[in-house]
Each structure stands twice: as C-alpha cells, then as structure tokens.
Structure 1
C-alpha cells in the first residue's frame, strides 16, 4: 500500500479565479504532494463562467469562505498544508488558528483584526469595492487599469493585461468591508486566533511593492503573533507586487514556500 501523499489546499483571494493556481499545482505535485485548488463558495468552475455570472459569489463573507474550506478539508485523508494568497491568506490564517491544517503559508495576506496601518495605496486598491456602500451585497469587477494598480503594478502593462485577461473574475466586496471595519467590530470575521500555541507553523510572505496588501500591513499582521509559542516566520520579496503568485516570477515564491515547508518537516 502506497503512503498517503500530503494534501496541499490552495486558497485564492479576490478578483482571481482558483485556476490561477494551476502552475503551483503542477509544481507541488512534482514535489510529491497532493495539491488541490477549490474555488470560493459558489464560484463557477471556469473564468468564463465566473465572468458570465458575477452574482454567483455576491455577498460571500470571510467566515463563509472559512467554513467552505473547513468542510473540504474534513474530507481529506490527512491534515493538509494550507497555502493562501491575499484574502486566501487570511482564510488560511483563520483555519490554522482554529487548529485546521498542519501548516500554512500566507502570501500577501489580507490584514487581520488588530492591524492599524493603512497605506494610501491599499485604500486606493480597495476603492472599486468600498466606494459604494451598496457593494456590501454585490460582486465587483476590476477594470484593466484598476487591476494593474492593485495587482500588476510591478509588471509591464502587457503582462498585467495578459494576467487580467486570463485570470480576473468578479469578486464579492463583503470581505473588504469586513476588513476595513475590523477594528471597530467586537466579533469581526477578520479576527484570527494568533494566541493558539498548539497550531502548526505559519510562514507569511510579502512583496515589498505590493499595493493591495502593502509590506507594512503584512509586517503588522506578523507582529500580532507572539514571539513565543507556535512558529511564525516572515519572508519578504523585494520589488514584488500582489501578482507575485501568478506573474513571471511565481516560481521563486513557490520554491521559497516549498523549501520552508520541507525544512519544517512537511
């Protein structure tokens, strides 16, 4: 009987389809893992169908995504590794804090409750969703220009537009409202159990030129975790933006995540 390959659950963020993880799935499968990349609740299976039915994901919140992925994880043969990007990183942090997942890598993770820094670039990146309070119950799409500022700002216009045309989809605006109000809501869905000393190890990764989740925000989230207790580490990629998981340099980030996991015994 062959041993069970360690599952890796990839969790994407807003405005990108789950299939954007395809290169990572192949990379981790070749390294001996059993990777999957499920979409968010009610997310259509393809980019084209997601664009055709934007209301499918409207109103989805952070805890909806957490419960969705927790249910998927329950069906796996062993406790998986979690790798999330942007709001997927926040979801991975929440799951790990709940004791779900053996280890996690949170890449440019959306800020958790307790983070006070709010760079102007981050505000501008979120404006397509936050500018209209009615968007709380809607899905929102980015234009090519908005995508380039928020996600592809370190890329050429040509590469940014190519990524937009290939992977961009409408996203629920609710998580952005939840994060923006987190420090004023006692039981915010952006709250993460950073005090759980029994959880698995966590690696946080930031791009120093990220507009959507600036490096200062990731470093502030990192500081919410105690220095003692469960392993929490931070790695920064100089000059990289929010597109670092899917642009021409994605393999550098994937390799760093893989090596860290292997160093931790996974």
Structure 2
C-alpha cells in the first residue's frame, strides 16, 4: 500500500446483511487514489463472514444509537483531520448522523436507510424487510436471508448466478433491532433515526439511489433529499439508473465508487 496523499481518511460503513469485508475492493481502490481507508465492523460482528455466521449473537439487540456511538468512538479515538464517511444502506443512515453531529468532514450515503420523517413505504421495501419485521421476536435477535430473499432484496437486477455468489460470499445474519426502530421512527419522539437535516454548518452530503432498489426505493430517498433541500448546507443527489441494492458489491461497484471519488474531488477532499 502506498502512503496516503489525501489529508482526510475515509471510513466505510456497511448495512444490514453484508459483512464489513465486502468493502475490501473499495478500500484498495480508494487507497490507490491517495486515501487512507478503513471499514470498521459493526458492534458484535466478527472478523470474517464465516465467524459471524457461526456466532451472530453479538449483534442481538444492537440498535441504531449503539451503532452511532460505536462509529463516533472510532472517529474520536483516531484523532487527526476529520474523516470522510461512505455508508451503504443502514451505513448511509449512520453516515448522515455522524455528519449532522459534526464528526466527519463530508458524507456519501449510498441508497441509505430512511431517516425519521420519511412517509413513503413502497411495497418492495416492505417485502424486503419482511424476513425480519414479519416476526416481532426478531427485534431482539439476528435474522438471515435465504438466497431467494437476498435475490429479491439485493440482487433483483442481477442474474441468479451472480446474486447467489454474492449471497454466499458476503451475506451475514442482520440485527433485527435497527429495522424495527426505523420502521417505527415516525411514532417515536426520541427516535435514533432522527437526523438534523437543517444544520447549516455541516459538511457536504451526497445522497444516492438506484432506480431499481427494493430495500430503499428511489421514492424513499427522494423524500430525504426534499427534507435536506430546506436547509442551507450542501446536499447533492445522484441516481444510478438500473441499479439495485447490491450496487456496492456487484460487478458494477467500480462505477459507484467512481461517482463517490469524483464527488469528493469536486468538494475539495
């Protein structure tokens, strides 16, 4: 690995059902472009996909606030320039929280889980979350996706072969609690999914959406963009045509990474 030439390191945060090591191609790509890059695991996640599948109980009852505190702690212990953060799915929600708290210099939220205030609830989103939300007991435990469920939620734009390969390589049991918290965010006065979208002194934010995303449909992210549009801070929006929720890990990941890299460059990072 070459020495970083960019002052701001980049932290990658994954979402539900995908292991942190799935970011490795991104880490290599960003490091080749001058950034120090890392992808810290979620609380309770083990070092490998296999270890996490064998013993996922460490993620039982891990909720949104615990994840925010975990990544805030990672950032605070590192010191130096504020990092840039790239989050996918629930990682995108966490990225927005960290930006709103002034802990990061800029954030890219790729197909992010909805923040409090979003009212759209498309059928595809409900169906994608049903393996967890379909049983109230799942709030306190992890839930795995079958290859078929993964194909609908993540790999709907992919061949069965590619979707199944991604499921085998990267999928892990996902904590149920964040899904339940996000689903009930609008009914909770102190929801951890609430983000200050009007903070004027935060760094720039990039929101993205794949037009075919089932987990976080385009309509949902457009509502988030509208919420931010009422504020004065920089917020940009990019749409990936024909892409689903697997866009950070499937064969087209480099196109997505390129958009994020170019955006950081335009913003001076």
State yes or no: 1:41 paired with 2:33.
no
Mapped to 1, the partners of 2:52 and 2:228 lie a distance apart of: 36
Of 105-114 and 3-12, deviating more is: 3-12
How many pairs are equivalent?
266
Aligned to 1:236: 239
Correspondence list, 1:159-238, <5 A = 159-238=162-241
Q: Match of 1:100? A: 103
Does residue 16 in structure 1 map to residue 18 in structure 2? yes
State how far apart, in whole Å, the 1-side matches of 2:107 and 2:138 are. 31
Structure 1 vs Structure 2 CA RMSD: 1.3
What runs of 5+ residues in structure 2 fail to find an aligned partner? none
- Partner of residue 136 from structure 1, selected from 135, 139, 142: 139
Residue 39 of structure 1 deviates from its aligned partner by 0.6
**2-side partners of 1:214 and 1:226: how far apart?**
19
**3-state SS of paired residue (2:108):** strand
1:91 is matched with 94
- Cα distance change on mapping 1:255 and 1:4 into 2, 3 Å: closer
CA distance in 2, matches of 1:212, 1:144: 15
How do 1:68-87 and structure 2 match up within 5 A? 68-76=70-78, 77-87=80-90
CA distance in structure 2 between the aligned counterparts of 1:59 and 1:142, rounded to whole angstroms: 18
TM-score (norm 2): 0.97
- Once the two structures are superposed, what CA deviation does each residue of 1:228-265 show, in whole Å capped at 9, x if it has no partner? 41100100001100000010000000000000110000
Q: 236, 258, 261: which is aligned to 1:258?
A: 261
Using structure 1 for the length normalisation, give the TM-score.
0.98
Cα distance in 2 between the residues matched to 1:50 and 1:88: 18
Contact 2:198 2:231 in 1 (8 A): no
**Where does structure 1 lack aligned partners over 5 or more consecutive residues?**
none
